[in-house]
Each structure stands twice: as structure tokens, then as C-alpha cells.
């Protein structure tokens, strides 16, 4: 198979690429975010003979040039993170899209985009939404993003988290992980939400819940994890205290409005790597980390390998599934087959040196039956 990849170029991704090649695939790769490529990793892969188009801090134009170079290798399987590869393939190389056997998608925002394409009848091949597998969404997004986003904030600020009002925009998988870890470091955690059930879950977990306009007045550190745009705009920025930290860990840099910040600021200067201090007309300073892009990948190294192993095992097994079955499947967005999800969980437990119980035949009969009551 010829696999075209568009995924953060990190050490974990390098292991995934080596695994795909060890299984006999040809690969061509680009990064999926202008600020997340680890240049030493890209260089090492290039030295191994891999076709790779990625470097840190590339322009938007170069970013899409890299994706086009991957498309030029005519992949018959795609592996995407955020759906920029798939949308470019459909927009600029429509005939080629029809020839692709299948693809996988790594993140929540990408799965949303692909479902929207499928709904409009635009998606030309079948894609497995790896993000939605339990062994991915409930671990990578929660514990991976939880830890690595805090890591990014600390590396870019060297701030003490204890005692700070720490505002988390969105209490989904990522938001939940970040809120949990910020609380562990002693922060006073505030959650903002738009979904009543998610807001209620945050409240019952013991977090303060309020609209962003209220949180803006008291927060010290703000992080967005929604997949939505304009969560923090000029309106909220005007209410903020002097010295606050603003950052985002959602897929695209649209959650904290960088455009608004650039417009209302009188001046800016980089005070540490990945930490831009914006001074407003009244003298207040707001600090934007990693240009409002994913702070865990821009200012730190992304998730540790001990959680990416599960996500990438899902990726690998899903690609094998597509290689075998893809041609029989109709174009659309599919879930990771349940048995693969279970297999990955079982393998992970084994690598952690843990074993679990097995149902006896009697228990299987009991759980599956309705005859026995009080
Ligand atoms: N930084 C990373 O490494 C990383 C890892 C995984 C996912 N992501 C990205 O993070 C984002 C969130 O992913 P997730 O899996 O947590 O999604 P999710 O669907 O589980 O949660 C998103 C939450 O945000 C809430 N929300 C939406 N709009 C909002 C708004 N305007 N204000 C407040 N809350 C709002 C939703 O109600 C939902 O509860 C996506 O863009 C995803 O692609 C990033």
C-alpha cells in the first residue's frame, strides 16, 4: 500500500511510520500543523529514506505545498489528523480521491469535518474515525492532552499553577483531562461550556461553571479545548486582568481569536520561547502561548508515547482493516471495529503487566439472559 500521512511529526509518529514501513507499506508524510513538527525527527526520518515534507514554523502556503507533495505520490490509503489532507485531495485532486481505498482520521475536529462532508455527499472514499475508538478518545484526549497541555503551559511560562484561577473552555474529553490535572496541581479550576450535560458533569466533579464573560474577569490562565471558534474574543480580552495567560489545545488556532488580539494590542514582544506578550492601550498585558495553536505540541512535545501507543495501534489496525476490506465498503465515515478496540486495550494491559478476569460460561449465560430476577 502507498500511505499518505498528514500527522504531527513527533517521535511517536516516527515509530508509527517505521511500523507501517516494516509492514511493507510505502509512505509519504507531511505535518498537520505549522508549529508541531520536531525538526530533528523529520531529519532522522529523511535520513532513513522516508519521503517527508515537514518543518517547524512553516507558512500556510508551504504547509499546503507539503500536503500537495504527499498527494503527488498517489496514496491509496490516507492517514490524516484534522482532515486537511482529505479536504485538499477532494478539492484539488477530485479524480484521484475516487481511487483511494480508504483512510483514517486521528482527531475530533477531523472526524467532525469528515462527517459534514459525508452528510453533503462529498466524501469519495471510506474513512475510519480512529479518534472515536474508546482506546483513543478516552485516553489520548483525556490523559494525553491533560498532561501535555499543562506541560506546554509550564514550559512557556515557568508559572506556578497552585492557587491560580485556571479557566478551561470546553469540558469534553480534552477539557476533562486538563481540568483534572490542573486541579491536581492546586489550581482553582473554572469550566465554561455550551452543553448542559457536559457543564453538569463539570459541576458535579467539583469545578466552578460559568460563562466565559464571567470567567474572563477572574481567570489567571485560560485554555480552550472545544473544537469551536471564537471562544475567547476581544469582548472577553477587554475584561481580563493584567498578566493573564491565553492558550489553546483544540486542533485549529481559531479558539482564542488571535486576529482580535493583534488588532487591540498596541505592541507585542516575545518574552520567552512560545510566549508573546501583547500590551493593550490601557497598559494591560495578555500573554499568548504558541501563537494560539495547540499548546501541547507548540510549546511541549505532544503526548507521551505511553498513550500514543494505543492511538497508533488503532491507526495501524484500522489501516490493515481498510487494506483488506476497504473496497467492499461504501464511501462514508466508519467507527473502529469494536474487536480492534478491545484487542488494543488487551495488548495495552499486557504491556502494563496487568491481567483481568474472564467471564465463566455460566456468567455469560446470566448476563445475556432475562430469566433470573429476585
Ligand atoms: N492538543 C491535542 O493534542 C489534542 C488531542 C486530541 C484532540 N484535540 C482537539 O481538541 C478539541 C476538543 O476535542 P475533544 O475530543 O475534547 O472534543 P469533545 O467533543 O469531547 O469536547 C468538546 C467540548 O467543547 C464544548 N464546546 C463546544 N463549543 C464550545 C464553546 N464555544 N464554549 C465552551 N465549550 C464549547 C462541547 O460542548 C464539548 O463538551 C478538538 O479540536 C480536537 O481535535 C487536540
The verdict on the CB of residue 113 being under 6 Å from ligand 1 is no
Could you report the average pLDDT of every consecutive run of 10 residues in the chain (374 residues)?
A: 98 97 97 97 96 97 98 98 98 93 98 98 97 98 98 98 98 98 98 98 98 98 98 98 98 98 98 98 98 98 97 98 96 96 97 97 96 90
Instruction: Find the angle CA(224)-CA(225)-CA(229) to the nearest 5 degrees.
Output: 70
The string of pLDDT tens digits covering residues 316-332 is 999 999 999 999 999 99
Nearest to 323 by CA among 44, 25, 64: 25
CA distance 100 to 30: 18
Q: Is the CB of 32 under 6 A from ligand 1?
A: no
User: What sign for the dihedral angle of Cα 128, 132, 137, 138?
Assistant: negative
Taking phi over 0 as left and psi of -120 to 50 as alpha, with beta for the rest, 162 belongs to: beta
The verdict on the CB of residue 27 being under 6 Å from ligand 1 is no
- Which of 130, 141, 176, 180 for mutating ligand 1's site (highest number of atoms within 8 Å of CB)? 141
CA-proximal residue: ligand 1, atom 19 (nearest): 172
Q: Is the CB of 5 under 6 A from ligand 1?
A: no
- What number of other Cβ atoms are within 10 A of residue 51's Cβ? 17
Whole-angstrom Cα distance, residue 75 to residue 68?
11
Q: Is the minimum distance from the CB of 37 to ligand 1 under 6 angstroms? A: no
Compute, in angstroms, the gap from residue 143 CA to the centroid of ligand 1: 14
- Give dist(CA 54, CA 65) in Å, integer: 10
Could you tell me whether strands 188-192 and 332-334 are parallel, antiparallel, or unpaired per DSSP bridges? unpaired
**Is the distance from CB of 130 to CB of 106 less than 8 angstroms?**
yes
Question: Cα–Cα distance between 275 and 292 in angstroms, integer?
Answer: 10
Mutate to test the pocket of ligand 1, among 174, 198, 249, 308 (most ligand atoms within 8 A of CB): 174
- Three-state DSSP string of 67-97: HHHHHHCCCCEEEECCCHHHHHHHHHCHHHH
Q: Which residue's entry shows cell 504491556?
A: 351
From the CB of 10, is ligand 1 less than 6 Å away?
no
Q: Quick check: CB of 248 below 6 Å from ligand 1? A: no
Q: Are 184 and 239 in contact (CB under 8 A)?
A: no
The residue among 297, 310, 299, 296 whose CA lies nearest residue 340 is 310
Helix 11-22 vs helix 39-47: angle between axes, to the nearest 10 degrees?
20
172 lines ligand 1 (CB under 6 A): yes
Among the listed residues 221, 205, 206, the one whose alpha carbon sits nearest the alpha carbon of residue 168 = 221
> Ligand 1 pocket test: which of 169, 172, 200, 211 has the largest number of ligand atoms within 8 Å of its C-beta?
172
| Per-residue pLDDT at 351 | 96
Q: How far is the CA of 46 from the centre of ligand 1 (A)?
A: 33
Amino acid at each position: 500500500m502507498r500511505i499518505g500521512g498528514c500527522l504531527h511529526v513527533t517521535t511517536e509518529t516516527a515509530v508509527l511510520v517505521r511500523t507501517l514501513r516494516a509492514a511493507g507499506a510505502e509512505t509519504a508524510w507531511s505535518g498537520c500543523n505549522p508549529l508541531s513538527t520536531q525538526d530533528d525527527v523529520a531529519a532522522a526520518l529523511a535520513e532513513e529514506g522516508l519521503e517527508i515534507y515537514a518543518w517547524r514554523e512553516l507558512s500556510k502556503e508551504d504547509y499546503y505545498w507539503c500536503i500537495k507533495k504527499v498527494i503527488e505520490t498517489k496514496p491509496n490509503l490516507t492517514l490524516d489528523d484534522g482532515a486537511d489532507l482529505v479536504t485538499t485531495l477532494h478539492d484539488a485532486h477530485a479524480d484521484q480521491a475516487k481511487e483511494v481505498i480508504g483512510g483514517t482520521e486521528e482527531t475530533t475536529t477531523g472526524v467532525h469535518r469528515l462527517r459534514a462532508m459525508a452528510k453533503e455527499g462529498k466524501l469519495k472514499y471510506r474513512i475510519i474515525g480512529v479518534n472515536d475508538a474508546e482506546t483513543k478518545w478516552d485516553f489520548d484526549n483525556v490523559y494525553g492532552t491533560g498532561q501535555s497541555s499543562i506541560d506546554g503551559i509550564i514550559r512557556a511560562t515557568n508559572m506556578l499553577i497552585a492557587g491560580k484561577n485556571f479557566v478551561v473552555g470546553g469540558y469534553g474529553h480534552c477539557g476533562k483531562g486538563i481540568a483534572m490535572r490542573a486541579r491536581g496541581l492546586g489550581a482553582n479550576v473554572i469550566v465554561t461550556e455550551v452543553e448542559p450535560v457536559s457543564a453538569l458533569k463539570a459541576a458535579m466533579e467539583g469545578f466552578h461553571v460559568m460563562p466565559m464573560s464571567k470567567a474572563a474577569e477572574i481567570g489567571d490562565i485560560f485554555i480552550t479545548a472545544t473544537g469551536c471558534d471564537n471562544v475567547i474574543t476581544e469582548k472577553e480580552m477587554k475584561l481580563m486582568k493584567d498578566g493573564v495567560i491565553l492558550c489553546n489545545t483544540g486542533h485549529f488556532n481559531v479558539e482564542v481569536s488571535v486576529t482580535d488580539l493583534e488588532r487591540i494590542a498596541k505592541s507585542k514582544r516575545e518574552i520567552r520561547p512560545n510566549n508573546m506578550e501583547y500590551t493593550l492601550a490601557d497598559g494591560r498585558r495578555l500573554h499568548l502561548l504558541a501563537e494560539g495553536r495547540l499548546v501541547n505540541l507548540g510549546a511541549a512535545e505532544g503526548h507521551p508515547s505511553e498513550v500514543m501507543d494505543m492511538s497508533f495501534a488503532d491507526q495501524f489496525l484500522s489501516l490493515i482493516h481498510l487494506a483488506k476490506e476497504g473496497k467492499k465498503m461504501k464511501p462514508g465515515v466508519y467507527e473502529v471495529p469494536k474487536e480492534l478496540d478491545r484487542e488494543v486495550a488487551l495488548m495495552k494491559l499486557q504491556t502494563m503487566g496487568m491481567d483481568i478476569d474472564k467471564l465463566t460460561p455460566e456468567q455469560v449465560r446470566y448476563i445475556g439472559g432475562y430469566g433470573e430476577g429476585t
